[in-house]
Amino acid sequence: MARTPAGTPPNPKGSERFHEEAATSAVRGSETPDLDAGVAAIREVVRTLPAKPGVYRMQDTRGDVLYVGKARVLRNRVANYTQVERLPLRLKRMVSQTRGMTIVTTNSEAEALLLEAQLIKRFRPAYNVLLRDDKSFPFILLRADHAFPRITKHRGARRAEGNYYGPFASAGSVNTTINALQKLFLLRSCTDSFFSRRDRPCLLYQIKRCSAPCVGRIDAAGYAELVGEAKDFLGGKSSAVQRKIEAQMAEAAEALDFERAAMLRDRLRAATFIQGSQAINAEGLGNADVFAMASKGGQIGIQAFFIRGGQNWGHRAFFPSHTEGLSEAEVLQAFIVQFYEEVPPPRCILADRVLPEAELVAEALREGAGGKVEISVPQRGDRRRLMEQASRNAIEALDRRLAESGTKAKVWREMAEFLELGEVPERVEIYDNSHIQGTNALGAMVVAGPEGFRSGQYRKWNIKTAQSNDDFAMMREVMARRFGRLLAAEEDNGGERSGEWPDLVLIDGGKGQLSSVMEVIAELGIEDLAVVGIAKGPHHGREGREVFHFPDGREKMLPVNSPVLFHLQRLRDEVHRYAIGAHREKRSRAISASPLDEIPGIGPARKRALLLHFGTAGKVRAAALEDLQRAPGVSVGVAQAVYDFYHPKG
């Protein structure tokens, strides 16, 4: 049996428990799907399979992953695919496209279940249930790497030291909660560098949302007490924290310390606001996630409620894809396993139906939850009422989705007709440039499909070759780099185009920008790419009239109240927003850069010491060697290095 080929994913979570082996069939049929060839390829792999648990990947002629599955006994599970007369039509299509397999063995079926979810997320196979949501969940982070910990919103990998609380359903719910927590516990939210530079309290102290530890308005012990209360509150002990604040307020009032009593009253109101803003009664539930499903018109919606510390931290609706031919319970199970691939699971998971392998899923999630996980279907009491509320939300969310989908589908069809496309595009790329008189120039691309914007596929390019503020040259550079890479990838795939090829390219600009793009397209030898330019028309003041430029020189316009016009404007506005945001970020980095950054061996601490002593980088440059040596925190060697950099010998 051959070793696992290059490209096999690493063991999930950094574990060394998985034993990776590959069994790739040597059978290669014709390019057209062939059921017999697919069965032959699978049978050849079955002969080499062990009677062990693991994960298998079905692959087509190009090596693209069609399906990822897990098995308690690989040999038996994979052999089932050779019994084609027992397979549903969906799996027959998959087998007919299969020309190879990759096998990864594991120590247990639970480990295989986790690895299956990881691989599905990585490869997004066409025959697996997919969680169609590329937005990461926000958390509240109470950092622990500073004497006075800060509270902040966090997304992404949890590398920073501290306590993480979440997930929250949206950034808005996190921001609202953090604002209330600042009023309640007066914790700082500023960066460490801002904190270290303060010599007087900032505005947050004035509006009673920070205790100003930066200037000593509270000592370390007092701040640590606030941090402890915040941890208790977020950890589910909100009632105890409220009782403590109430007692402190009563003591202050009895001592006639009315200013302190008023401050404690405001903190108590903030606690009441956080609890009163809960639209869901989750008291006594502790930490739990609630999942309810609705099905209509061949589509499935799943509503999730996030309960932490007995408080509702928001809810979100999901609409998984590739669910044809599967039972609703199988879809829900696949969704839950993928959902917890990145989000830490709670110890309690409530579902509206029994999962086919509930015990296996609970075992697989045990390590991430830090203990035994309970997956149950509520039958009575508060939990049942909470589940009924989640079910109602799932039905309403799916109804809205179906109504929106019908409207969206019509708009996309009419857009395709207006832009003279052969069919509704699956992938639309929209391009724009952003700069100020040629400085910090960059190009930006956003991607959209019938389901909406695909933010995970947005791209930006720093302009390298175009001069000054030549918009046309910038657009040519972006197009050459983007489609040059796609052509190189196509050549590497033996002439097969990847799914990243657009069906339509929209350019934010008129004839000039469109001509620049078409020059590059012609030079690269691309002949089947639909390109359209969007430019503001002569009467665009309040009407928003856009002119659409076609490569053959024709121009078209849409009525001012056309849904297609609104849709195309939204696509154009999104790339404009993304380009401007990327440009501002780049410009901010350039503004914050210092000439001292160019001096070898000068780190942030020494750069700060020099700037604090001399005031500006220009004065550092003009300083004599003796003056540099007198700067606090600057050694003789560093002073000599700075002086030599600005006064090279010879």
Rounded to whole angstroms, how far apart are CA atoms 82 and 36?
9
In tens, the pLDDT along 58-71 reads 999 888 899 999 99
Question: Which is nearest to 185 in space by CA: 174, 177, 196?
Answer: 177
The residues, any chain, with a CB within 8 Å of residue 232's CB and separated by 6 or more, are: 238, 240, 241
Ramachandran angles phi, psi of 587, nearest 5°: -65, -35
Distance, CA of 506 to CA of 15 (rounded, Å): 44
Enumerate domains of the chain plus CATH numbers.
12-123 (3.40.1440.10), 139-276 (no CATH), 288-298+317-400 (no CATH), 428-570 (3.30.420.340), 595-646 (1.10.150.20)
Nearest to 584 by CA among 456, 439, 458, 467: 439
Rounded to whole angstroms, how far apart are CA atoms 617 and 626?
Answer: 17
In terms of pLDDT, which residue wins out, 8 or 85? Answer: 85
Sequence-separated contacts (24+) of 77-84 with Cβ below 8 Å = 78/42, 78/45, 78/46, 78/49, 79/46, 81/39, 81/42, 82/39, 82/42, 82/43, 82/46, 84/35, 84/39
Give the C-alpha separation, 66 to 58, whole Å. 5
Q: Structure tokens of 288?
A: 């739990």
pLDDT at 14 over 50: no
Determine whether 465 is exposed, middle or buried from the number of CB atoms within 10 Å of its CB (0-12, 13-18, 19+): exposed
Residue 10: band (very low, low, confident or very high) from pLDDT cuts 50, 70, 90: very low
3-state secondary structure (DSSP) of residue 363: helix
pLDDT digits (tens, 9 = 90+) for 514-524: 998 999 988 88
Residue 282: pLDDT band (50, 70, 90) is low
Lowest mean pLDDT among 28-37, 156-165, 342-351: 28-37
Q: Which residues contact 202 (CB under 8 A, 6 or more apart)?
A: 190, 210, 212, 214
The C-alpha atoms of residue 280 and residue 391 are separated, in whole angstroms, by 13
User: Taking Cα atoms as reference points, which of 322, 452, 318, 308 lies closest to residue 394?
Assistant: 318
Number of Cβ within 10 Å of residue 554's Cβ equals: 9
**Given this model, what pLDDT does residue 589 score?**
56
pLDDT of residue 552: 86
DSSP 234-300: HTT-HHHHHHHHHHHHHHHHHTT-HHHHHHHHHHHHHHHHHHHT-SS--TT--SEEEEEEEEETTEE
User: SS3 for 432?
Assistant: strand
For residues 1 and 601, which has the higher predicted lDDT (pLDDT)? 601
* Res. 103: pLDDT tops 90: yes
Residues 365 and 343: their CA atoms lie apart, in Å, by 11
CA–CA separation, 42 vs 438, rounded Å?
A: 57
| CA-wise closest residue to 102 among 141, 54, 58, 140 | 58
Q: Is the pLDDT assigned to residue 182 strictly greater than 60?
A: yes
> Does 17 have pLDDT greater than 60?
no
119-128, 560-569, 586-595, 605-614: least confidently modelled range: 586-595
Q: In the beta sheet, which residues pair with residue 350?
A: 290, 376
Residue-wise pLDDT tens digits, 341-389: 878 899 999 999 999 999 999 999 998 888 899 999 999 888 898 899 8
Say what the pLDDT of residue 58 is: 93
- pLDDT for res 29: 38
Q: Does position 570 have pLDDT exceeding 80, yes or no?
A: yes
If pLDDT is split at 50, 70 and 90, which confidence band does 436 have? Answer: low
Given this model, what pLDDT does residue 59 score?
Answer: 93
Handedness of CA 369, 371, 374, 375 (dihedral sign): positive
Q: Which helix (H) or strand (E) holds 76?
A: helix 74-79
Q: Which of 213, 269, 204, 266 is nearest to 258 (CA)?
A: 266
Q: Each residue of 226-273: pLDDT tens digit? A: 898 888 877 766 667 777 777 778 877 777 877 777 777 777 766 665
Other CB atoms within 10 A of residue 621 CB: 15
Q: Which of 225-234, 276-285, 458-467, 604-613 holds the top average pLDDT?
A: 225-234
Q: How far apart are the first and last CA of the chain?
A: 66
Calculate the alpha carbon distances from 344 to 232, 322, 367 in Å. 19, 25, 10
Helix axes 171-185, 220-234, angle to 10 degrees: 140
Are the C-beta atoms of 482 and 500 separated by less than 8 Å? Answer: no
pLDDT above 60: residue 30: no
Average pLDDT, the chain: 81
CA–CA dist 585, 587 (Å, integer): 5
pLDDT at position 298? 82
Residues above pLDDT 90, as percent of the chain: 25
In the chain, helix, strand, coil percent, each to 5? 45, 15, 35
74-86 pLDDT per residue, tens: 999 999 999 988 8
Contacts of 296 (CB under 8 A, 6+ apart): 395, 398, 399, 402
Q: What pLDDT does 463 receive?
A: 79
